[in-house]
Amino acid sequence: MLTRKQHELICFIADRLNDTGISPSFEEMKEALDLKSKSGVHRLISALEERGFIRRLANRARALEVLKMPERSDRSGPAPAAEAPPASAASRPLPAPANDVIEIPLHGRIAAGTPIEALEGASMLPVPAALLGAGEHYALEVAGDSMVDAGILDGDYALIRRTETARDGEIVVALIDESEATLKYFRREGAMIRLDPANRSYDPQRYRPDQVRVQGRLAGLLRRY
């Protein structure tokens, strides 16, 4: 028999894997179950692992695989309707573990300093699926050091989710004057668009809205050693 919290946790993990393909973080699990500390999450994970409901994928941070779902009645005591997991959680197919590799287009190099000409390439880059969420993605090789304070280094592969919109503070691929692309923080400043670096050695870049076209938001990074 699973406790109510164990049941709620495995349903939360299964729902998140189904929705995004990525395991929730321990902080997200703590908040979802209204626990006071992450140590409580660790104990629940260990209990579910011992009972054969989940397993941790080796050498992968935040990687959990749901092996089986409990019966809907397999929890201790009745739960109020507001706290009960969705009825479909126990009946839906088990989510696939987020440990497979997919290939996404690799479109040349993108500046993390002064904008450089955007390149289109036909090569593909293998990427762990767990690094990507929903949507269409492509990769760009980072050139320059203007985003180092955001942990984005020269030679990294920026994994980009295609989109034409962005909120203030998001890291985006911005196409400038339909010819040059750069990776920067996106911000609106009055009637202008400001592209901010993450390196004090570089100055912000300001453009008219008609000069800037968002081509994607940063979804992850891949680094080779």
Reported as a single tens digit per residue, the pLDDT across 71-91 is: 654 444 444 433 444 444 444
- Boundary (domain end) residue, out of 83, 118, 135: 83
Percent of the chain surpassing pLDDT 90: 30
13 & 39 share domain: yes
42 & 149 share domain: no
pTM greater than the 0.75 cutoff: no
The number of domains in the chain is 2
Is 146 catalytic? The answer is yes
In a domain, 90, yes or no: no
Reported as a single tens digit per residue, the pLDDT across 116-173 is: 445 555 588 888 877 787 888 989 989 889 999 999 999 999 999 999 999 999 999 9
* CA dist list (Å): 70 to 24, 83, 90, 144, 188: 19, 16, 7, 50, 48
109 & 212 share domain: yes
Is 184 catalytic? The answer is yes
23 & 121 share domain: no
128 & 59 share domain: no
114 & 178 share domain: yes
In a domain, 158, yes or no: yes
DSSP designation for 45: H
- Boundary (domain end) residue, out of 18, 49, 83: 83
116 & 206 share domain: yes
130 & 160 share domain: yes
In a domain, 88, yes or no: no
Mean pLDDT within 15-43: 82
* CA dist list (Å): 201 to 84, 144, 168, 182, 197: 52, 12, 22, 16, 9
In a domain, 96, yes or no: no
Binned at pLDDT 50, 70 and 90, residue 179 comes out as confident
Write down the pLDDT at residue 73: 46
72 & 109 share domain: no
Which of 5, 23, 30, 146 is catalytic? The answer is: 146
Q: Quick check: 103 and 129 in contact, CB under 8 A?
A: no
Instruction: Residue 109: give the domain boundaries.
Output: 101-222
The encoded tokens of residue 224 equal 């080779």
Largest CA distance in the chain: 63
105 & 194 share domain: yes
CATH of the domain at 13: 1.10.10.10
41 & 130 share domain: no
Higher pLDDT, 101 or 170: 170
Write down the pLDDT at residue 75: 47
Which of 73, 91, 184, 201 is catalytic? The answer is: 184
Write down the pLDDT at residue 209: 95
pLDDT at 202 over 60: yes
DSSP 105-154: EEEEEEESSS-EE-----EEEEEEGGG--SS-EEEEEEESSTTGGGT--T
Write down the pLDDT at residue 115: 55
Mean pLDDT within 27-31: 86
